[in-house]
Structure 1
Amino acid sequence: MNTVALVLYPDFLLLDMAGPVEVFSIANRYLPAERHYRILTLSARERRIRASNGIILCTDHLLEDAPMAHHLLLVPGGPGAYGANHAELLPWLRDAAGQSRRYGAVCTGAFILGHAGLLDGHRVTTHWHYTERLLKAFPLAQVGSDQIYVHDRKLITSGGVTAGIDMALSIVAEDHGRAVALDVAKVLLVLMTRQGGQAQFSPLVAAMAGQDSPVARAQAHMLEHLHEALTVQHLAQLAAMSTRHFSRVFLRETGLTPMEFLQNARIDHARQLLESSELPLKTVAWRSGFGSVRHMRFLFGERLGLSPSQYRQQFA
């Protein structure tokens, strides 16, 4: 029997725990008894743990008397993952991760693994809203922002909330085959494989320069004139800089080239129109500055992993 152990702490997100747990629990319906997943919940100081939504759970074990070797050792995310000190968890997590077949985190649970030194040198992901914060906190980790989940050797991490379900399905598929995982996905009414990554949920334009900088004026101009044919030369003139100097300063202040920022802004604008209107794709493409539906479709596929029509079907 394979043990799935979840380490809980005050203010964890209940769905980060419940999503994966239901995947493994439903998988047991399709497996012989000797191959079932056994689910354990663990906590450090008290067995009664209050989730961030106020619900109280009673865990199976305190860490001091909990087994350490597991098929999967998992830490859910939640406000308590990055807003509290978990010093009492970290030594135990380091030892248990070494003895377990796999260890990982859902969403911001990655911060707790990071403080235990378990992300260093690994490819990881978390909820798109926290990727930059995770990267700054743990610079030795290779943090990706678009993946729904990431397997790297023994470590598995996922994006936010429902991405934990995707991650758990991938483990069931690895353990027992795709057919069993697909049966579980059908019961849960979820897709076995999603179209696109986290980028389809997050705004692409996040890096805005300081309000008083020339770069900020150029950004504001771009956002107000997305439908126009804009060039780096024209934007540099607005900022009263040479083209080369403007490009260097823009990259330094935003982390993007001017054209990357413009492309992201156009994609975000098109997404807003697709979500809030029934405008034809040709009109959406023109208003967003793409010039053609074909060009818009290409960039959506490249950046979001799905077409404008698919995006509208999912989010409108």
Structure 2
Amino acid sequence: MKTVAMVLFPDFLLLDMAGPLEVFSIANRYLPDADHYRISTIGTERTALRASNGVLVHADHPLEQSLDSYDLLLVPGGPGAYNQQHQPLLAWLESAPQRARRYGSICTGAFILGHAGLLDGHRVTTHWHYTERLGKSFPKALVETDHIYLQDRRLITSGGVTAGIDLALSIVAQDHGKKVALEVAKVLLVVMKRQGSQAQFSPLVAAVAPQDSPITRVQNHVLEHLEEAFSIERMASLAAMSARHFARVFAREVQMTPMEFLQSARIDRARSLLESSDLPLKTVAFRSGFGSVRHMRFLFGEKLGLTPTQYRQQFS
């Protein structure tokens, strides 16, 4: 019997807890008794803990009464994970590598692992909205943005909210084979492996900085005229700079090259049109500045892991 524990703290996200634990609970229906998952929750307080949606949950055990070892130890996300620090929990989690055969986080629970020193030197992920913040908070971690979940040795982290279900399904598949995991996925009405990555949910281009500068003026001009042809030279002329100097300044201020910005902005425009209209792909490609459906399809596959048609089917 494998032991699975979820650590709870004030203001945790309820779905981060319930989704993965439901996977292991349903898996027990398809497993012999000796192979069942033994599921428990560990609380930072002896009293009931209030989740971020207001629901009260009473953990099975407080930290000081937890077991000495677990097969899997998970930390959920939520406002309490990235806006607060729970010192007793952090001290307890420092021993997670010795306490658990596998350990990890759902969504922004990665921030708690980071404060406990467990992300350093590992490839990790979190909800797409928080990857930049995670990377800045824990520079020794190798934060990757394009994974639904990511396992690096014994550490496993996931993207936001429902990605915890994907993480749990992957563990069931490791423990008991793909067939059992597939049966669980069917019960939950989810797919075993999603198409694409977290990039399909997040904008590729961040909002243009509010301050007025030659670079922001170029960005705004490009966004307003995406259907037109742009080159480094044309963008540089709009900023009244040489092409070489412009490319260097743009990359420093925007954290991507001018052509990466242009390409990403066109993908975002196409995504918006695919989500909000029934326009033919040829029209979407033209209005987004791709020039051809073939080029648009290639870049969608490269950046999002989906074709424009697949994207429309999933998000429109």
Q: TM-score, normalised by structure 1?
A: 0.99
Cα distance between partner residues in 2 of 1:201 and 1:159: 11
Residue 86 of structure 1 deviates from its aligned partner by: 1.0
Runs of 4+ more than 3 Å apart: none
- Separation of aligned partners in 1, 2:315 and 2:98: 41
**Is 2:85–2:112's contact at 8 Å kept on the other side of the alignment?**
no
| Partner residue, 1:294 | 294
Q: Would you say the 8 A contact 2:125–2:150 is kept in 1?
A: yes
Amino acid in structure 2 at the alignment position of 1:112? I
Q: Judge conservation of contact 1:125–1:150 (CA < 8 Å) in 2.
A: yes
* Distance of 1:161 and 1:85 partners within structure 2: 20
> How many residues align structurally?
316
Q: SS state of the match for residue 156, structure 1? A: strand
Q: Runs of 5+ in structure 1 lacking a partner?
A: none
1:40 aligns to what SS in structure 2? strand
Distance 1:47 1:100 in 2: 25
Contact 1:170 1:181 in 2 (8 A): yes
1:121-136 paired onto structure 2 within 5 Å: 121-136=121-136
> How does 1:217-236 map onto structure 2 within 5 Å?
217-236=217-236
Give secondary structure in 1 for the equivalent of 2:95.
helix
- Partner of 1:195: helix, strand, or coil? coil
Which consecutive residues of structure 2, in runs of 5 or more, have no partner in the other structure? none
Which residue in 2 is equivalent to 1:91?
91
CA distance in 2 between partners of 1:210 and 1:251 (Å): 17
One-letter code of the match for 1:160? G
Q: Deviations over 1:4-23 (max 9, x none)?
A: 00000000000000000010
Kindly state the Cα deviation for residue 99 of structure 1 after the two structures are TM-superposed.
2.2
1:269 match: 269
Q: Distance in 2 between matches of 1:55 and 1:252?
A: 45
Q: Which deviations, in whole Å up to 9, do the C-alpha atoms of 1:254-297 show, x marking residues without a partner? A: 01110000000000000000000000000000000000000000
Contact 2:208–2:220, Cα closer than 8 Å, also in 1 = no
Partner secondary structure for residue 54 of structure 1:
coil
SS in 2 for 1:102: strand
Question: Does the CA contact (< 8 Å) of 1:76 and 1:106 recur in 2?
Answer: yes
Matched-pair contact (CA < 8 Å) for 2:146–2:197: yes
Which residue number in structure 1 is paired with residue 8 of structure 2?
8
Does the residue aligned with 2:247 lie in a helix, a strand or coil?
helix
- CA deviation vs aligned residue, 1:219-265 (integer Å, no higher than 9, x gap): 01100110011111011111010000000000000011100000000
Q: Which residue of structure 2 lines up, in the alignment, with residue 180 of structure 1?
A: 180
Within-5 A mapping of 1:207-218: 208-209=208-209, 211-218=211-218
Greater shift, 168-177 or 199-208, is seen at: 199-208
Equivalences for 1:1-316 in 2 at 5 Å?
1-206=1-206, 208-209=208-209, 211-316=211-316
Q: CA deviation at 1:209?
A: 4.1
The amino acid across from 1:194 in the alignment is: R
Question: Match for 1:189: what amino acid?
Answer: L
CA distance in 2, matches of 1:72, 1:257: 41
In structure 2, distance between residues paired with 1:11 and 1:4:
21
> Identity over the aligned pairs, expressed in percent?
71
Cα RMSD for the two superposed structures:
0.8
Q: Distance in 2 between matches of 1:119 and 1:307?
A: 33
Alpha-carbon distance, 1:210 to partner: 5.0
Amino acid at match of 1:166: D
